[in-house]
Amino acid sequence: TIMIIGTLITVSSNSWLGAWMGLEINLLSFIPLLSDNNNSMSTEASLKYFLTQALASTVLLFSSILLMLKNNMNTEINESFTSMIIMSALLLKSGAAPFHFWFPNMMEGLTWINSLILMTWQKIAPLMLISYLNIKNLLLISVILSVIIGALGGLNQTSLRKLMAFSSINHLGWMLSSIMISESIWLIYFLFYSFLSFILIFMFNIFKLFHLNQLFSWFVNSKIVKFSMFINFLSLGGLPPFLGFLPKWLVIQQLTLCNQYFLLTIMMMSTLITLFFYLRICYSAFMLNYYENNWMMKMNMNSMNTNL
C-alpha cells in the first residue's frame, strides 16, 4: 500500500522535491518486499537495488536543488544541463540503457512476483517524470542503446529471469520512444506490456520455472498450457497477429508520421533479434522435445502387431 502511495505522490506532485519524496517512499517500501531471510540472493538483490536507487535519488535531489537555486536566487546555472542530470537520474531509476547494469543482475535474485513489480509498477513513477521533461537528444540515445542492449543481451541467456530483464530493457526503449511522441501511446504500450508480463510471470510462478531447460521438459502432456504459454512469449516479442504487436504498431505508425525513420529502423531490427530468441525457445519446445507423437506411433504399431 505504501509503495502505491509513493508512486501516486510522485505522479501527482507539482515540484521536483515532492516527486523525489514520492520516489523515496516507493524505494523504502519496496525493499522490505525484496528481502527474504531464507534466500541470500534476494538480500543481495535488495542491497543492489537500494544502492542504485539511492544514488539516483541523490543526483535527482542535487539537480532539483540546483534548479531551485537558479529560479529563486538568479544564479548562473545552465538549465538544460541540470535537466539532463535529472533525466539521467530518472533513466537510472527506471533501468534504461546505458544505466541498465544493475537490472538483470538484480532480477536474478528475486522471486517472480517481485520481478513483476520491478518490471511494471516500479517503472511508472520515473517514466512519468521523464515524460514531463522530454529532452529529445538524451532520450534518443537512451532509446537506441536500450533496444540494442535489450536485444543482444537476451541472446545467450538460459535464465528466464535474465531473459525477462533484457526483454524489459528492450520494451523500455520502445516506451521511451513513445514518450517522445505521445503520452497516450506510452500509457497504452505500458498497459499492454504489463498485461502480457503479468500473464507470463503468473504462469512461471505457478509452475516454478526459472530456467530454459525446465520449459522444454515440463509441458509434455498438457498441450493447452504449453500453447498458451508460448503464444504469450511470442506476443511479448511483438509477433503479429498476437496482442503484443498492437502497441508496437501504434508506435511505428506515430514514428513514421514524425519522420523518425533512422530510429525506427534500429528499433525494428532489434525487435527482430528479440523475436529470434523467443522463436528459438518456442521451436525447441514444440519440435525437439515433443515425445507424445513418437510414443503414440509406437503404441499403435505394437497394438497392431498383437492383434495380428
- Element housing 180 (H / E): helix 160-181
Contact in structure between 89 and 2 (CB atoms under 8 Å):
no
Q: What is the Cα–Cα distance from 146 to 97, expressed in whole angstroms? A: 5
> Measuring CA to CA, how many Å separate 181 from each of 63, 98, 140, 170?
25, 21, 11, 18
The pLDDT of residue 281: 85
Instruction: Provide the whole-model pTM.
Output: 0.91
Peptide bond into 241 cis (omega under 30): yes
Q: Residue 162: which of 153, 172, 171 has the closest Cα? A: 153
pLDDT in 10s for each residue of the chain, 308 residues: 999 999 999 999 999 999 999 999 999 999 999 887 677 888 899 999 999 999 999 999 999 988 888 877 777 777 788 889 999 999 999 999 999 999 999 999 899 999 999 999 999 999 999 999 888 899 999 999 999 999 999 998 899 999 999 999 999 999 999 999 988 999 999 999 999 999 999 999 998 999 988 887 776 667 788 888 889 999 999 999 999 999 999 999 999 999 999 999 999 999 999 999 899 888 877 776 555 555 555 555 566 666 65
Contact in structure between 55 and 61 (CB atoms under 8 Å):
no
Give the other-Cβ count within 10 Å of 17's Cβ.
15
Altogether, the residues listed in the chain come to a count of 308
Peptide bond into 98 cis (omega under 30): yes
Residue 296 has which C-alpha cell?
503414440
Q: What is the Cα–Cα distance from 162 to 144, expressed in whole angstroms? A: 20
The pLDDT of residue 227: 85
